[in-house]
Every structure is written in C-alpha cells, then in structure tokens.
Amino acid sequence: MTPDLLIQSTIIGLSIGSIYILMALGLTLMFGMMHIINFAHGAIYMLGAFAVYYIFSQWGAPYFAAFVLAMLLLGTFGYLVERSIYRPIKGGIEPTLVALLALTTFLQAAGYPVFGQLDKHVPPVFQGTRNVLGVMISVERLMIIPMAGALVVGLYLFINKTKMGAAMRAIEQDKEAAALQGVNVHVVNGLAFAIGFALAAASGALMAPIFKLDPMMGEQPLLKAFIIIILGGLGSIPGAILGGLMLGLIDSIVATALGAEPAFLLSFVFIILLLLFKPTGLFGYAPP
Amino acid sequence: MRRLRVGVLIVLVLLMLLVPQLGGDYYVHVFALVFTNVILAASLRPSLTCGQLNIGHSAFMSVGAYASALLAKNLAVPFEVSMLCGALLAAVVGLAIGYPSLRLRGVYFAMVTVAFVEVIRLIAQLWVSLTRGMSGLSGIPKPHLLGVTLATKASQYYLALFLMLLTLLILWKLESSRLGLIWKSIGMADNLAQSLGVNIANHKLLAFMLGCFFAGVAGAFYAHFIRFLFPPEFGFLMATNILVYNYVGGRGHFAGPIVGAAFLSLLSEPFRGSAYETIFFSIAMLLTILFLPGGLITLPGKLAELRWWKSASAHSPSPAA
C-alpha cells in the first residue's frame, strides 16, 4: 500500500467512522437508559436515506432542509414507537427486543412495494474534490466529518448541559430514584428514542448521496454499530466514539487492502476474541 | 384431560401419516417444509427458556445443511452419517460462538448471533471452491439412508416426519426432566438459580448447543430435500421467522413453537417467498406481543375465561336489581 493510498483510506475511514459513530451513539444511549438494543436502527437509517431521496432529489427542497426534516420526521417516529411499543410492554426487555425486530423486518419488507424494486440514487450535493495532504478526496465524503462532528458535539452539550440531559443521566444511573425526584421517566425515555432515531436518520441522510438506496441498506451499518458498541462497552458514549473511529479506519484500510467482506469477517473474529478476554470492551467500561 | 390429549396426538400423527395418500406431491412438499420449520422452532426453545435471545438460528441450519450436502456430494457419505456430522458441526460452531458471549448479559449474545448470521452467509458466499458461492450448491444427492435411496417425495416426507417426531420427543423428554427445570429457573431468575448452585453459564451453553444441533438436523434434511443451497437463503429473515414461530405460538408451553411454526408456515404458504410473507410475519409478531403476550396457545384459555365471565355475569343478579 502506497503512502498516498494509506492517507486516502485513512480520510475515507474517518468519514465512514463518523457515520458509524452517529449510529452507535443512538444505540448506546438507548441501551444505557432502557437496557434495550434498538434492532430497528438499521431500518431507520434506511428511512433517513429515503427521506432525503424524496424531499431533496424528487421534490427539489434544499439538501439541508431535507436533512433536518428527515431527522425531525424520524425522531417523531421514534417517540411514537416508544409510546406504542416500548411503553405498553412495560419494561420487558426480551419482548421489546423481539417487537423491535418485528418492526425492522416490517419496515424493510414494506420498503419494496412502497419504494419500488429498483435501487435509487441521490444526486451529489457537494461537487468536486479537494487536495488533502497531497491526495484528492471528494468533497462529498469530506463534508460528512464536520456535519457528523457537529451532531456529536450537540448531543454532548445536550446531555451534559441541559436539564433534560441531566434527567437522562439520572435515569441511566437509577430509574426509580430519578422518578422519585420528579423526572417523568416516560417522557425522557421517549426523548431518548427520538434522539436515537434522529441520529440514525442523520447517518442515513449523510450517506444517501454516496451509496445506492435499497430497503436492505441498513443491515450493514447496524451490524457495524453492534460491533462498535461491543468494542466500546455497552452504554459508554466515549466508547462508542472511539470504537466508531477505530472500526471506520479498520474498515477503510483493511477493505482497501483485502476487500469489504474479509474486513467484516475480521472485525467479527476480533470482537469474539475481545469478549473472550476482555468482556467489558476495549475501554474497560463496566455495563450497568 | 390427559387421555384426551394423548388421543388428539395419536389422531394427529395418523393424519400426518396419511398425507401422502390423501394429497398430491404439492402437499407432501409443503408439509415436509412445515416439519423442518417445526424442528427449527422447537430447537430454539431451550435457549429461549434460559432467557437467551438467539437471533441467528438460521446460521446453524446453514452449517448443518452445507456440511451434510458437501459430505454426501463429494464423499458419498450416507445420509445418517452426513446428517449427524452436520448437526455435530453446528453444535461445535455454537460452542465457539456461545462460550464467549453467553457469560455476559443477554443482549451481547443477541447481538453476536445477529452478526453471526452475516458471517456464515459471507463465508458460504466467499468460499467458492467449496460451496460454489453465489452460483449456489446444486446436485445434492437425495437422502440415502441405511442402504436405500429415498427417491420419491413421499418417502422423503416420511423421513421428515420421523426426524420431527424424534426431535420433539427428545426435546420434550429433556424439558420435562430436571434439566428443563434448571433452564426454566435460569430464565426466571438467574441470580437465584446461581445462588442455589446452578452453573448458569454452562447450562445456557448446553441449551444453546442442543438447539444448534437440531437446527443442523433440520438443515441437513432441507439440503437433501430441496437439493439446492443458496447462501442468502439462511439470512436474517429466516432467523427472525424462527423466533416469530416461538413468540406467536407461545413461550409458556412446549407446544407453543410447534403450533406457531405449523400455523404460520401454512398460513403464509400462498405468498411464500414474496415481500408480503415478511410483512405478514412481522405484523403477526407485533400484534401477538402487544395484544396476546402468551401467544396462540393461550387463546383457548382466554376464550374459555371470557365465556365463563359472561355466563357468570348473566347468572349473578345485576347491582341495579
């Protein structure tokens, strides 16, 4: 591998990594508060991409409006899922997981008759390439990094600086005690669903101009996000960020050298070994 | 009551024995696949009883199917040996996946099994020299059992029936033994079970490997019955379907997965293979979880309760009187 190719795949890896981070952050946030894994995350990623397809490339709205609208729409959907699926099950973890799984297969299967059998394409939003450290990178891919970064910083500020964020952290530590202090656990859980879904939609919306769109497109990012949160430790937000960056780089560099499928197989073998020897994740985060 | 149940069971088995005589090849084919689904659903049950959500059961079916098919095709191994080898390999693979992930919280296990479906699919797809990859593995011999080749669909149907009944008998005996009680205790309160001296990690692993073994059996039969294997067939969708059978049928009783698998596979037969099959399955699953958490097997009890409640309220004097 030449140095140029290495630099190029590192930068591409950073941009893929920031998508993975957005996916993994929502998953880990929801796990930390409710101890559930949102299996529907991949399907929401897909819906986010399709929202951009319709709003931006079919109806002609500006890309940023489509991006924000996709997040708002799917965030609302997340709140409704909390109301209609999570809340009626009353905290049963296993039934919730199975219901979310059913929601996923429903959204994916319904995608074919609704969106059509053919792959969809979103036209490029940012044209041209830019010279970074002597290699040419498309602006499309470069722009993912600051946009995802802004969302991560926004989430960090929200969780650490606002009252709602404090309520979320309180629920993560002790749900009953938080409820006794007057935190409305239902509303805050609903908010966590909304944030998780909105972040997944944002990842899909960012990736829409780069990849082709089909109803199964969320499967791979979901599995990648699983690997990341196992790497970083379930429920750990710094773990999700570091794990996402690592997997993005591994994915891009190994995939450039060996191909995408061997890269996935390698990362799976890696997490099995990790679970064997360091089950709390790379950064030693003990799950609550 | 017990005598009634045994009677119903005998009548059902007799009816199943008569299917090839009464219906044509189409019904034979459909029912043989239903029996495979019943094996798959019932073999997921031990793991679920322990409270472990295995969302990758189709991967172990795939291992059994490919192993048995390749042994029979390339080395002319008879079906009874190739099936056992396939099932054992599936159990060993289950050990390799289950040992690291079952010691942790259930969600780790669930995530690892989901990812494992993709791993097995990719291996089957990429190892072209062995599995023929995406061209699919064809030319798998018909089941050759005890020196006889089962050439007709009807004889293969009886093989499926025999395998299903044997699997169900073994799983039923295990579940009604002390082992089944241990599984149930782990599923209800694993801390308590552990404090009473149950080695929960080993029992979870054992239940999981048992399931993988029988998934391998189902896979081996499927391979020699359909005689064509295609990697994406054993994907995420099939894995969730097996889970759906268990939930829609009901988790509380051994009959649950059997009822679920038979009911859903027969009901979805008109749109098998289309997107509507998955839509139907996922809606059935969501409705069951939200409105009938005990599954279909609790339906007769609920209806009886309703009737009892109605007649009771009709006989008792109303408060206004």
pLDDT at A286: 57
Is the sign of the CA dihedral A255, A261, A267, A269 positive or negative? negative
Residue ranges per domain, chain B? 22-236
pLDDT above 90: percentage of residues in chain A: 31
Which residues of A fall within a CB distance of 8 Å from B105? 234, 287
- For B111, nearest residue in chain A (alpha carbons): A226
Cβ A46 vs Cβ A108: under 8 Å:
yes
Tell me whether residue A285 is in a domain: no
Question: Is the alpha carbon torsion for A99, A104, A105, A109 positive or negative?
Answer: positive
- Among A252, A223, A228, A227, CA closest to A240: A228
| pLDDT over 50 at A10, yes or no | yes
- Note whether residue A139 is domain-resident: yes
Q: How many folded domains does chain A comprise? A: 1
pLDDT at A120: 85
Report B:40-69 residues touching A (Cβ under 8 A): 51, 53, 55
Q: For residue A136, what are the β-bridge partners?
A: A131
pLDDT of res. B61: 93
User: Quick check: A234 and B119 CB within 8 A?
Assistant: no
Paired sense of beta strands B144-145 and B137-138, if any: unpaired
Q: pTM of the prediction?
A: 0.86
B105 touches chain A (CB under 8 A): yes
Query: ∠ CA B75-B78-B81 to the nearest 5 degrees?
Result: 95
Question: Is A286 inside a domain boundary?
Answer: no
Contact B110 A37 (CB under 8 A): yes
With CA atoms as reference, the chain B residue closest to A231 would be B108
The model's confidence at residue A137, banded by pLDDT at 50, 70 and 90, is confident
DSSP B116-152: HHHHHHHHHHH-HHHH-GGG-EE-PPPPEETTEE--S
Choose, out of B282, B285, B287, B288, the residue to mutate when testing the contact with A (most A CBs < 10 Å): B282
Chain B (278-317) residues lying within 8 Å, Cβ to Cβ, of chain A:
278-279, 281-283, 285-286, 289-290, 293
Binary contact (B290, A89; C-beta < 8 A):
yes
Nearest alpha-carbon partner for B54 in B220, B187, B191 = B187
Q: What CATH number is associated with residue A72?
A: 1.10.3470
Alpha helices in chain A (DSSP H): 3-34, 41-52, 63-81, 87-89, 93-115, 139-161, 163-173, 175-180, 185-207, 219-232, 237-258, 260-277
The C-alpha atoms of residue A158 and residue A171 are separated, in whole angstroms, by 15
Pairwise CA distance, residues B251 & B245, whole Å: 10
Give me the total of CB pairs closer than 8 Å, taking one residue from chain A and one from chain B.
120
| H or E segment and range at residue A132 | strand A129-132
Q: Is B201 on the interface with A (CB under 8 A)?
A: no
pLDDT of residue B74: 85
Give A32-43 pLDDT, tens digit per residue: 888 888 999 999
Tell me whether B270 touches chain A (CB under 8 Å). no
Q: Do A261 and B125 touch (CB under 8 A)?
A: yes
- B122 interfaces chain A, CB cutoff of 8 Å: yes
Average pLDDT value for chain A:
87
Residue A288 has pLDDT above 60, yes or no: no
- Backbone φ and ψ of A266, nearest 5°: -60, -45
List, for residues A216-238, the tens digit of each pLDDT value: 898 888 988 988 988 888 888 88
Instruction: Give the pLDDT means over successive 10-residue stretches in chain B (321 positions).
Output: 81 80 81 91 91 89 92 86 92 90 80 87 85 80 79 84 91 89 84 80 90 94 89 85 88 86 84 79 86 83 79 58 42
% chain A with pLDDT above 70 = 98
In a domain, A223, yes or no: yes
Cβ pair B104:A219 closer than 8 A: no
Q: Is residue A287 part of a domain?
A: no
ipTM score assigned to the predicted complex: 0.80
Distance from CA of A251 to the nearest CA of B (A): 15
3-state secondary structure (DSSP) of residue B265 = helix
Residues in chain B within 8 Å Cβ distance of A280: none
Comparing CA positions, the residue from A141, A137, A135, A139 lying closest to residue A4 is: A135
DSSP string, B79-120: HHHHHHHHHHHHHHHHHHHHHHHHTS-HHHHHHHHHHHHHHH
Distance of alpha carbon B203 from alpha carbon B98, whole angstroms? 11
What DSSP designation does A120 have? B
Residues forming a β-bridge with A129: A138
pLDDT per residue as tens digits for the range A73-93: 999 999 999 999 888 888 778
Residue A283 is assigned to a structural domain of this protein: no
Does residue A30 sit within a domain?
yes
Give the domain extent around A132.
3-277
List CB contacts (< 8 A) between B109 and chain A: none
Query: Per the CB < 8 Å rule, is B97 touching A272?
Result: yes
- In angstroms, the separation between the Cα of residue B268 and the nearest Cα of chain A is 15
